[in-house]
Amino acid sequence: MSRLQVVSGKGGTGKTTVAAALALALATEGRRTLLVEVEGRQGIAQLFETEALPYEERKIAVAPGGGEVYALAIDPELALLDYLQMFYKLGGAGRALKKLGAIDFATTVAPGLRDVLLTGKACEAVRRKDKQGRYAYDYVVMDAPPTGRITRFLNVNDEVAGLAKIGPIHNQAQAVMRVLKSRETAVHLVTLLEEMPVQETLDGVAELRAAKLPVGRIMVNMVRPALLGEPALALTRDTGVRPAVVEALAAAGIGSAKRLAGPLLTQAGEYAERYALERAQREQLAAAGLPLHELPLLTEGLDLSGLYTLAEELRRQGI
Amino acid sequence: MTLDPQAPLDVDPLLDDPATRIVVCCGSGGVGKTTTAAALGLRAAERGRKVVVLTIDPARRLAQSMGIDSLDNTPRRVKDIDDAAGGELHAMMLDMKRTFDEIVEAHADEERARAILSNPFYQSLSAGFAGTQEYMAMEKLGQLRSRDEWDLIVVDTPPSRSALDFLDAPTRLGSFLDGKLIRLLMAPAKVGGRAGMKFLNVGMSMMTGTLGKLLGGQLLRDVQTFVAAMDTTFGGFRTRADATYKLLQAPGTAFLVVAAPERDALREAAYFVERLAAERMPLAGLVLNRVHGSGAGRLSAERALAAAENLDERRIVDQTGGKEEVRTAPAPGSPAAAEAPSDPTIEQLTAGLLRLHAERMHVVAREQRTRDRFTALHPEVAVTEVAALPGDVHDLAGLRDIGHRLAAGGNPAGAS
């Protein structure tokens, strides 16, 4: 298992949720993980039902078996000041730069520079060791930008090469790329069993591969339970089945069975249509040749206990 | 508590009103924003208006359904719509780099334009600045509006990390390009006047020194030449940003917030509603996509599950009976055994139907709770609901169907 786990996915597929569940799953049995947020959305804080995260690593959850999950919301501005402080001992000059808008400039205008700072901070956490020479975190899980932007985001080297051809940012980009393109890193894509997210996922896999970035797993999220088996599905296509269903409903103690049979069979027809569509999407995903994981839809909506359920499910599936 | 306390959002009068010139669809990613924009455009066109739909990043098949899968940044007429009412539909996909290039080409002489376009800093800015897409969407909107060829423009908004970027980005880019730093980089002497000059020059050299160290001197020079070239060609980015911003506030613009009945999407929608109010942007209402209903809503989830269990028990009894061939000794209390043996597959199917229904009722209840929370916060917002479809939209017929649902969904009696 790579030590830097990058989680991306189309908007609305639940990538923050999957990243958090993965961080919990990887922290079981006494390990320590860091869950990193880079888009300033405070999605992690909402998920773990805590107050907004500062730019500081803090413990947000305990995993089964004594493990710990830490979280960090990386703020590009503060990361840059951090970085300046580390390399140039800037002190007050950093604040002056901020006042002039130079920090704003460096962090928001040239996206490649901002991305180097964000990925750079995550890579630093991956490599960090304590006094005994052990890694500070067993795993770092990043809640990364969506699939449409992920290759560009991670491929900082190309982005920055055109801008900063020499200098510390250039060197930093090189160092970050070494980690991101190594076996230390795995990029996972979260999807739903729907056409648009699946198409975007497959496009994303192709882009990542073309950029020689290590693609990890495909995580299918919000998978609905199979409530009708194949034989039952075959029966719903038979229009003559309705009287028998009315009879069975009545026998099961349902009043006005006659009126309900129609709508219930309509719902089954919709289910059958969706089921066929989902099967086709699964086949498309399987063709990508990557490990595939499925996480169930939590019908009661997602809360903290749901997150632990998903983490357990990931453990069960061998993560 | 009643379930539909809100004012319905009536889409057709909004689309038909000749005073409506711009409809902006906004909301978080993955809620069907682009599809909604396309469906609204088609509906308005088929009701007789001359419409252009500006999409930002449509899914391939949606773009194909409108015949705009070629990326050329100009509106294309959509064929095969029903033009009996005299309307037209045009559609285009935004190419932000192309739009930026066009601005440069339109405002600079050939030589200067070439210098800007080949500047590496310009290339990075035009392809990837966090707000460029939003800014260019606004720019394109302004262009389409001033051409006055269409009487309705439907705009989709970029899939931002947060829906609010769309409103912030133009000002951010504008203020950056007009900002203190840029002016300092260009002409430090101009800014401070005589008294401020010494200080500024000290600050300047310290800053360019640091920035140079950090970014490499060449990048800084690129920025300086870029900014100088941009400024002399068409200063006042901020003025342009302000103009598009005012266009959005003007009467004739209607914002539609698009959401799905899920916690995160509706939280974002509520946020957006508040923000639009604060900016005095005209909100027409909320489009709630992918809402589930049930034709058998009178059967509760609990009763459906109990009946399904009942059927399972009967089946087990049937099966054990069948295997051991002891049909002559029916299990006490089992009605099944008393009647003619029913088909176990039918019972299995019926139990499945009931479980499916229970699941559906849970979804319906959860969506209703989520929606109620939004309603409690914003009772003033008109809502239209679009029922969930089992599949995706691939063609004009599918878009037309969604348009129909959009128009009917504001009326609770019409919602299923």
Q: Which of A31-45, A114-128, A292-306, B400-414 has the lowest mean pLDDT?
A: B400-414
B210 with A84: Cβ contact below 8 A: yes
CA–CA separation, A20 and B316 (whole Å): 42
CA–CA separation, B203 and B180 (whole Å): 12
Contacts of A265 in chain B (CB under 8 A): 353
B352 with A247: Cβ contact below 8 A: no
CA–CA separation, A225 and B362 (whole Å): 13
Distance from CA of B298 to the nearest CA of A (A): 9
Q: Nearest residue of B to residue A300 by CA position?
A: B366
CA–CA separation, B367 and B249 (whole Å): 32
Chain B contact present for A241, CB below 8 A? yes
Bridge partners of B213, per DSSP, are none
Residues B359, A225 contacting (CB under 8 angstroms): yes
Res. B334 pLDDT band, cuts 50 70 90: very low
Chain B contact present for A232, CB below 8 A? yes
Res. B63 pLDDT band, cuts 50 70 90: confident
User: pLDDT digit string (tens) for A108-132?
Assistant: 556 567 788 889 899 999 999 999 9
| Mean pLDDT (whole number) for B168-189 | 60
A112 with B299: Cβ contact below 8 A: no
Q: Give pLDDT, residue A91.
A: 62
Per the model's pLDDT, the better-predicted residue between A31 and A100 turns out to be A31
A41 with B125: Cβ contact below 8 A: no
Q: What is the DSSP string of chain A?
A: --SEEEEEE-TTS-HHHHHHHHHHHHHTTT-EEEEEE-SS--HHHHHTT-SPP-SS-EEEEEETTTEEEEEEE--HHHHHHHHHHHHH--THHHHHHHHHTHHHIIIIISHHHHHHHHHHHHHHHHH-B-TTS-BS-SEEEEEPPPHHHHHHHH-HHHHHHTT-SSSHHHHHHHHHHHHHTSTTEEEEEEE-SSHHHHHHHHHHHHHHHHTT--EEEEEEEEEPP--S-HHHHHHHT-GGGHHHHHHHHHHTT-TTHHHHHHHHHHHHHHHHHHHHHHHHHHHHHHTT-S-EEEEE--TT---HHHHHHHHHHHHHTT-
Please, which residues 119-148 of chain A have a Cβ atom closer than 8 Å to chain B?
A: 145-146, 148
Q: Give pLDDT, residue B48.
A: 97
Mean pLDDT over the full length of chain A:
88
Distance from CA of B251 to the nearest CA of A (A): 32
Q: Give whole-number Cα distances, A15 to A20, A104, A154, A220, B169, in Å.
A: 8, 28, 16, 10, 24
Task: Find the CB nearest A231 among B180, B263, B345.
Answer: B345
pLDDT above 50 (res B333)? no
Task: Find the CB nearest B219 among A13, A163, A231.
Answer: A163
B176 with A108: Cβ contact below 8 A: yes
Chain B contact present for A78, CB below 8 A? no
Query: Which residues does B92 contact at the CB level (< 8 Å), separation at least 6?
Result: B52, B53, B54, B55, B68, B73, B74, B75, B76
Chain B contact present for A164, CB below 8 A? yes
Mean pLDDT over the full length of chain B:
78
Contacts of A231 in chain B (CB under 8 A): 345, 348-349
Res. A306 pLDDT band, cuts 50 70 90: very high
Task: Find the CB nearest B349 among A113, A232, A299.
Answer: A232
User: pLDDT digit string (tens) for B233-290?
Assistant: 555 566 666 777 888 888 999 999 999 998 888 988 998 899 899 988 999 999 999 9
Chain B contact present for A45, CB below 8 A? no
| Mutual angle of helices B263-278 and B344-377, in 10-degree steps | 20
Res. B399 pLDDT band, cuts 50 70 90: very high
Distance from CA of B377 to the nearest CA of A (A): 19
Best residue in B299, B349, B363 to probe A by mutation, most A CBs within 10 Å?
B349
pLDDT above 90 (res B353)? yes
Per the model's pLDDT, the better-predicted residue between B66 and B13 turns out to be B13
Between A and B, how many CB-CB pairs are < 8 A? Answer: 233
Best residue in B215, B226, B262, B368 to probe A by mutation, most A CBs within 10 Å?
B215
Contacts of A165 in chain B (CB under 8 A): 216, 218-219
Q: Give pLDDT, residue B208.
A: 62
Q: Give pLDDT, residue B130.
A: 56
A267 with B294: Cβ contact below 8 A: yes
Domain ranges for chain B, please list them: 1-168+235-297+379-416, 179-232, 301-378
Query: Which residues does B209 contact at the CB level (< 8 Å), separation at least 6?
Result: none
CA–CA separation, A170 and A113 (whole Å): 9
Q: Give pLDDT, residue B11.
A: 95
pLDDT above 60 (res B337)? no
User: pLDDT digit string (tens) for B354-395?
Assistant: 999 999 999 999 999 999 999 999 999 999 999 988 777 888
pLDDT above 60 (res B295)? yes
Please, which residues 46-75 of chain A have a Cβ atom closer than 8 Å to chain B?
A: none
- As a whole number of angstroms, the longest Cα–Cα distance in chain B is 112
Distance from CA of A230 to the nearest CA of B (A): 10
What superfamily would CATH give domain B1-168+235-297+379-416? P-loop containing nucleotide triphosphate hydrolases (3.40.50.300)
Query: Which residues does B58 contact at the CB level (< 8 Å), separation at least 6?
Result: B34, B38, B68, B93, B156
| Cα end-to-end span (Å), chain B | 19
User: pLDDT digit string (tens) for A199-223?
Assistant: 999 999 999 999 999 999 999 999 9
